[in-house]
C-alpha cells in the first residue's frame, strides 16, 4: 500500500513538473513574441517613421520661391533690415510639420570684362518654418535679415524661401526694407530636381552642366564644327586671347566674351534625360534621334582649364522649336549619361568659324591727335602711283603745325581732305574677316590671291608712322561690289563701299580723283614761310621780291620786303600783292577733248617762281588757251592738269607793276 501511495505521489509530482514546464514555455513564447514585435517596431521607427518625419524637412513637401530685387531698387538700403512675410492657404490638410533653414540670401555681383557672368554669393538666413496642425489652413511666417552695406557692388539680390507643396497658388507675399513696401520679381519653382554627379542648380534652378570656369582659369577652347576647327588660346601672361593659326589678327573684344561665357558658363535650358531618372534610360537608348554622335560628333568644343582639367560638350541637332541645341557632357571620367538643351547663343561663336571672333580691322588704330605724324603717304591706283604726300620741314619762325607736301603728281597745295583721310583710314573697320595667315605661314597661296581678287587689285596704300611702315591692299570688287583688304595683320577683311566714304564726300575714297587731294588755292602758304618771289612776263622786266624778318621788330609777323632791290611798303602794299597770289584758285581738269595742245605751248603768259624758306621751289607757268578766253592752263614744276581763271592772272600782272612802284593795290578791283 505504502509503495502504491509513493507511486501516486511521484505521478503527481511529475504531472506538476510538466505543468510548470508548459507554463514556462508559454511565458517564453510570449516574451519572444513581444521581443519580435518590439524589434519590428524599432525597424519601422528607424526605417519608416523617422524618414517619414524627416521628409517633412525635405523639399518633397515644399516648393522654392525666389524674390529678386535689382540694383536700382536697392539704392540707399545698404545695411537696412528686411522682412519677408509669406501668408498662404493649405489645400492638403495632411501637410504639417516643420522645415529647418527655410530661407537663403544670394548676392549677384556685377559683370566685368574678365567675368561676364559671375556666380551668386550665398549668405545663409537661418529661419525655421513651423506649420500648424491639420485643423488650421492659414499659415504665416516672416523671414528677417539685414542687407549687406556694399549693395553698389551687386547687380541684384535674391531671397529664396519655401512654401508647402499643398498650398493654393494665391499666396500673399509682403516684402519690406526699412519698413518700406518693396515690389520684387517673384519666381516659383514647383519641380524638384534630382542631380547627377557634377551637376548643380543655377540661379533659377536650371541645371548647371558643370561648375563655371572663369576667364582667368580658362587655358583654351578648342572648337570643332562643320565649318571650321580652331583653338582659342588664353595668353596667361597678359590676359589676352588669340586664335591659333591667326596669331597676328586682333580678337573681337565684343564677341570673345560671349564665346568664353558660352564655353565656361554651362547653364542648361533643361535636362531632357538622365540615366535611371524617370524614362531617361529609354530616351538615352536613341541618341541619334537628337543628332548626338559622341564617338564622332560633327560639332563640339573642349574647354581646358589652367590646371589641365578638361571637359567636352558634344552638340547635336537644334530642338524642334529652334530655340536651343541638344548637348552632352564628357570629361576624363567618360561620357555623362544625360542630354541637355543649351540656348542658341552658341550659333554666333561655337558653331561659327574662327573669323567670327577675329576683329575685321584693317590697320592698327592711330589716335586722331597723332595722325599728323604719318609720313610718306603713297596711294596707288592699281600698280600706278596716284598721289604721294610727305611731311616737309617746318621753318623755325613758321606758324604752321604741319607741312603736307605733295611729291606726286606735282607740288600742289594739299587739301584738308587729306587730313580727314588719314584720320579715317587708320580706323576703318570692315564687315568680317574671311581669311588669316598664321605665324607659321610664309605667304598667301596663289589660289587665295586669285579667289579674293588681289591678282588685279584696285588700290594700295602705304605710309610710315613712328618708324613703322603700314601697308594694305584693296582687291577688285567682288560680286556684291565689296572690296577685300589685305591688312597689316595678315588677314583679309571684306569691306563694303559704304564704309570707305568720308563724311561730306559721296564717293568712296578709292574712287577719288586727284582734285580731292588738292586744295583749290594754287598757293596758300603764310607769307612768313616765303623767302622770295619772282614774276616773269614776256616783254617786261622781271620782278624779283625778297621777304625777310624785320630785325628791328619784336613781332614775328613783321617783314622787310624788297622789289628789284627797292624797299617796299609791306602793310597796305606788298601784303595786298601777296593776296593777289593767294586768290588764284584752280577750277577744273583740262578738257580731254580740247583742240588745243596746251602742253605744246612754248612760252607762258606769266611765270611765277616762289622759293620757300626751306629752299623748296614752286615754279608756276600760266598759258593762254585760245578757244577759251575765260580760263588759262597752268603747270607747277612742269606738271599740270588744271585751269585757273585768266582774269586772276591778268590782275597779278597788273598788281606786279603797281607794287614795284609802291602804289596801292585794290584787293576788290575787278579782275
pLDDT along the chain (671 residues), means of 10: 46 50 55 53 43 40 70 77 72 49 78 78 66 53 78 82 54 76 64 82 81 92 96 86 93 89 92 92 94 96 96 96 93 96 92 93 88 93 96 75 90 93 90 92 91 95 93 95 95 96 93 93 92 96 95 87 95 94 87 51 89 93 82 89 91 95 84 54
Task: Give the contacts of 61 (CB within 8 A, at least 6 positions apart).
Answer: 55, 95, 97, 99, 164, 165, 166
CB atoms within 10 A of CB 583: 16
Q: What is the 3-state secondary structure (H, E, C) of 357-408?
A: HECCECCCCCCHHHHHHCEEEEEEECCEEEEEEEECCCCCCCCCCCCEEEEE
CA distance 376 to 612: 20
| Residue 342 region by backbone torsions, left for phi larger than 0, else alpha for psi between -120 and 50, else beta | beta
Task: Give the contacts of 471 (CB within 8 A, at least 6 positions apart).
Answer: 460, 461, 462, 488
Whether the Cβ atoms of residue 171 and residue 141 lie closer than 8 Å to each other? no
Q: Would you state the pLDDT for residue 454?
A: 95
Helical spans, DSSP H, in 269-357: 280-284
CA distance 385 to 192: 74
CA distance 176 to 214: 35
DSSP 153: G
Whether the Cβ atoms of residue 378 and residue 385 lie closer than 8 Å to each other? yes
Q: What are phi and psi of 47, to 5 degrees?
A: -105, -10
CB atoms within 10 A of CB 340: 26
Whether the Cβ atoms of residue 387 and residue 406 lie closer than 8 Å to each other? yes
DSSP string, 110-136: PP-SS-SSPPPEEEEE---EE---TT-
Cis peptide before 409 (omega within 30 of 0): yes
Q: Would you state the pLDDT for residue 574?
A: 96
DSSP string, 466-526: TTEEEEEEE----TTS-EEEE-TTSEEEEE-GGGGBPTT--SBGGG--GGGGB-SBS----
Amino acid at each position: 500500500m505504502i509503495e502504491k501511495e509513493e507511486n501516486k505521489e511521484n505521478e503527481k509530482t511529475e504531472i506538476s513538473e510538466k505543468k510548470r514546464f508548459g507554463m514556462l514555455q508559454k511565458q517564453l513564447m510570449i516574451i519572444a513574441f513581444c521581443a519580435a514585435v518590439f524589434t519590428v517596431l524599432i525597424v519601422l521607427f528607424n526605417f519608416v517613421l523617422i524618414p517619414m518625419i524627416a521628409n517633412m524637412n525635405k523639399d518633397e513637401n515644399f516648393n522654392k520661391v525666389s524674390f529678386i530685387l535689382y540694383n536700382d531698387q536697392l539704392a540707399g538700403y545698404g545695411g537696412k533690415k528686411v522682412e519677408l512675410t509669406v501668408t498662404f492657404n493649405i489645400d492638403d490638410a495632411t501637410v504639417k510639420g516643420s522645415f529647418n533653414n527655410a530661407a537663403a540670401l544670394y548676392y549677384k555681383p556685377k559683370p566685368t570684362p574678365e567675368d561676364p557672368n559671375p556666380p551668386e554669393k550665398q549668405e545663409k538666413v537661418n529661419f525655421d518654418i513651423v506649420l500648424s496642425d491639420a485643423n488650421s489652413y492659414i499659415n504665416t511666417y516672416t523671414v528677417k535679415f539685414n542687407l549687406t552695406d556694399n549693395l553698389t557692388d551687386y547687380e541684384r539680390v535674391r531671397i529664396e524661401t519655401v512654401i508647402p507643396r499643398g498650398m493654393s497658388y494665391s499666396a500673399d507675399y509682403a516684402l519690406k526694407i526699412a519698413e518700406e513696401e518693396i515690389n520684387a520679381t517673384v519666381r516659383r519653382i514647383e519641380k524638384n530636381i534630382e542631380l547627377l554627379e557634377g551637376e548643380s542648380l543655377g540661379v533659377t534652378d536650371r541645371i548647371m552642366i558643370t561648375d563655371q570656369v572663369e576667364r582667368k582659369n580658362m587655358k583654351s577652347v578648342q572648337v570643332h564644327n562643320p565649318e571650321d576647327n580652331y583653338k582659342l588660346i588664353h595668353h596667361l601672361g597678359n590676359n589676352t586671347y588669340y586664335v591659333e593659326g591667326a596669331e597676328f589678327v586682333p580678337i573681337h573684344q565684343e564677341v570673345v566674351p560671349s564665346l568664353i561665357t558660352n564655353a565656361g558658363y554651362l547653364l542648361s535650358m533643361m535636362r531632357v534625360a538622365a540615366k535611371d531618372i524617370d524614362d531617361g534610360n529609354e530616351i538615352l537608348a536613341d541618341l541619334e534621334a537628337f543628332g548626338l554622335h559622341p564617338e564622332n560628333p560633327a560639332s563640339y568644343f573642349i574647354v581646358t582649364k589652367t590646371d589641365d582639367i578638361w571637359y567636352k560638350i558634344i552638340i547635336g541637332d537644334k530642338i524642334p522649336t529652334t530655340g536651343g541645341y541638344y548637348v552632352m557632357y564628357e570629361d576624363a571620367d567618360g561620357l555623362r549619361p544625360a542630354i541637355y538643351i543649351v540656348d542658341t547663343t552658341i550659333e554666333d561663336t561655337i558653331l561659327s568659324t574662327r573669323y567670327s571672333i577675329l576683329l575685321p580691322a584693317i590697320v592698327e588704330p592711330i589716335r586722331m591727335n597723332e595722325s599728323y605724324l604719318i609720313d610718306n603717304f603713297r596711294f596707288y591706283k592699281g600698280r600706278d602711283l596716284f598721289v604721294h604726300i610727305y611731311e616737309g620741314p617746318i621753318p623755325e619762325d613758321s606758324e604752321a603745325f604741319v607741312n603736307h607736301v605733295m611729291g606726286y603728281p606735282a607740288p600742289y597745295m594739299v587739301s584738308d581732305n587729306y587730313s580727314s583721310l588719314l584720320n579715317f583710314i587708320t580706323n576703318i573697320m570692315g564687315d568680317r574677316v574671311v581669311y588669316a595667315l598664321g605665324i607659321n605661314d610664309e605667304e598667301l597661296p596663289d589660289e587665295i590671291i586669285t579667289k579674293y581678287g588681289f591678282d588685279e587689285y584696285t588700290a594700295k596704300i602705304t605710309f610710315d608712322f613712328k618708324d613703322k611702315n603700314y601697308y594694305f591692299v584693296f582687291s577688285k570688287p567682288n560680286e556684291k561690289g565689296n572690296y577685300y583688304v589685305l591688312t597689316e595683320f595678315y588677314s583679309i577683311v571684306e569691306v563694303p563701299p559704304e564704309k570707305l566714304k568720308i563724311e561730306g564726300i559721296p564717293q568712296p575714297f578709292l574712287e577719288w580723283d586727284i582734285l580731292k587731294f588738292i586744295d583749290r588755292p594754287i598757293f596758300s602758304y603764310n607769307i612768313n614761310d616765303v623767302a622770295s618771289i619772282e614774276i616773269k612776263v614776256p616783254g617786261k622786266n622781271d620782278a624779283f621780291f625778297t621777304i625777310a624778318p624785320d630785325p628791328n621788330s619784336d613781332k614775328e609777323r613783321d617783314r622787310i620786303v624788297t622789289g628789284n632791290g627797292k624797299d617796299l611798303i609791306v602793310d597796305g602794299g606788298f601784303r595786298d600783292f601777296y593776296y593777289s597770289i593767294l586768290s588764284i584758285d584752280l577750277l577744273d581738269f583740262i578738257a580731254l577733248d580740247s583742240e588745243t595742245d596746251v602742253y605744246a605751248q612754248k612760252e607762258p603768259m606769266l611765270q611765277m617762281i616762289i622759293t620757300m624758306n626751306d629752299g623748296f621751289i614752286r615754279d608756276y607757268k600760266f598759258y593762254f588757251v585760245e578757244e577759251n578766253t575765260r580760263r588759262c592752263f597752268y603747270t607747277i614744276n612742269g606738271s599740270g592738269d588744271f585751269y585757273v581763271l585768266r582774269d586772276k592772272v591778268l590782275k597779278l600782272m597788273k598788281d606786279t607793276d603797281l607794287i614795284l612802284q609802291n602804289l596801292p593795290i585794290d584787293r576788290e578791283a575787278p579782275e
